[in-house]
Amino acid sequence: MSTVVTGIGELVTHDERFTSDLGVVTDAAVVVEDGRVAWTGPARHAPAADRVIDLAGRAVIPGFVDSHTHLVFAGDRAEEFEARMVGRPYDGGGIASTVAATRAATDDQLRANLVRLVAEMRSQGTTTIEVKSGYGLAVADEVRSLRLAGEVTDEVTYLGAHVVPPEHRGRERDYLDLVTGEMLAACAPHARWVDVFCEPASATAFDGDAAREVLLAGQRAGLGLRVHANQLGAGPGVRLAVELGAASADHCTHLTDADVDALAAGTTVATLLPTIEFSTRSPYPDARRLLAAGAVVALATDCNPGSGFSSSMPLAIALAVREMRMTTAEALRAATLGGAQALRRDDVGHLRVGACADLTVLDAPSYRHLAYRPGVPLARALDLS
């Protein structure tokens, strides 16, 4: 069955056929057939279809691609957030409490939380989601997390190297052997990506040498690479990500000139997570420096119960504009096309002919309202079923 979505006041396509910024078409229509975009252009030229949906002047954008989330967990860390807001710094140490709660939860409890969060994201316009493990940190618990993540997305990431779990403290070498050996072998069939929290500044995360081991082992097991890099301080994460051809280096909060040059020259996307700086009261990444150098920038939420429990891509966009001085157009591009590039996907993040028909509707006349009206629930994924 074909559907024509018409009455679109402003349509963002990222299609170079339309010469405007972001491939914007006004008074537009989209024809969808078999779950794919079959036609876009001015509504007055739209071909006939079996069904008509009239959006009465609302804007339509490509669904958000949230390329970095941690949605498989149990427990609540609101107290930790409140402590940070009155001055306690964030060091990644609270992850252990989520690990304990996650291990203690049943499959059904984890699944219910995961499904609820995915629905929450969709109701805010997100249509593609990457989900990491990383709160199991034992073979069976990591496999379970990845299996559950695979029920809601194909973009599943093995993050056994999130932190060294409490039972391995003082025996970090043993844990690294587990993460790159038995745990990897059990997890690789359930994942597309491997990730590592490369953060020498954290007592529980991994330094550059350990991160290299994790990534190379994952690569040998057929996984694509992603890195949590340079969140708490300058370090080797970003350059390691670029050197190994990782799809994405995530956080990029503390960058040297060499890091920026490496990102600009390589194929690794710089994924910025401003809801984390918001929720940890930390300095924001320097998006303008990355854009000026020519790096590809993505925006994602990093939704997790500890360092930032927001599922909202519109909030990430508003923060990128207000706090990181991106234009609204740059922020929207980063939240759609940028996220798709960070997942090495060419079928999402845009509305060119042939793309997945992931349309997000705004209760507003223009995408500009995403930053202009912060905190207002304007975006939702359009249900075409």
The binding site for Zn ion (CB under 5 A) comprises 302
Minimum distance between the CB of residue 68 and Zn ion, rounded to whole angstroms?
A: 6
Minimum distance between the CB of residue 146 and Zn ion, rounded to whole angstroms?
A: 16
Q: Closer to Zn ion at the Cβ: 302 or 358?
A: 302
- DSSP-assigned states of every residue in 42-67: EGGGPPP-SEEEE-TT-EEEEPEEE-
Distance CA 345, CA 368 (A): 25
**Measuring CA to CA, how many Å separate 295 from each of 325, 326, 369?**
16, 13, 26
Q: Closer to Zn ion at the Cβ: 66 or 302?
A: 302
Minimum distance between the CB of residue 61 and Zn ion, rounded to whole angstroms?
A: 25
Minimum distance between the CB of residue 198 and Zn ion, rounded to whole angstroms?
A: 12
Q: Closer to Zn ion at the Cβ: 307 or 360?
A: 307
Contacts of 314 (CB under 8 A, 6+ apart): 124, 125, 370, 374, 378, 379
Per DSSP, the three-state class of 196 is strand
Q: What's at 66, amino acid-wise?
A: D
Q: Which of 106, 214, 218 is nearest to 162 (CA)?
A: 214
Q: Closer to Zn ion at the Cβ: 32 or 343?
A: 343
Q: Tokens standing for 179?
A: 């993460």
Shortest-Cβ-distance residue relative to Zn ion: 302
Strand partners, 381: 360
Distance CA 99, CA 247 (A): 27
Residue pointed to by tokens 């597309």: 192
Q: Closer to Zn ion at the Cβ: 176 or 198?
A: 198
Q: Closer to Zn ion at the Cβ: 280 or 336?
A: 280
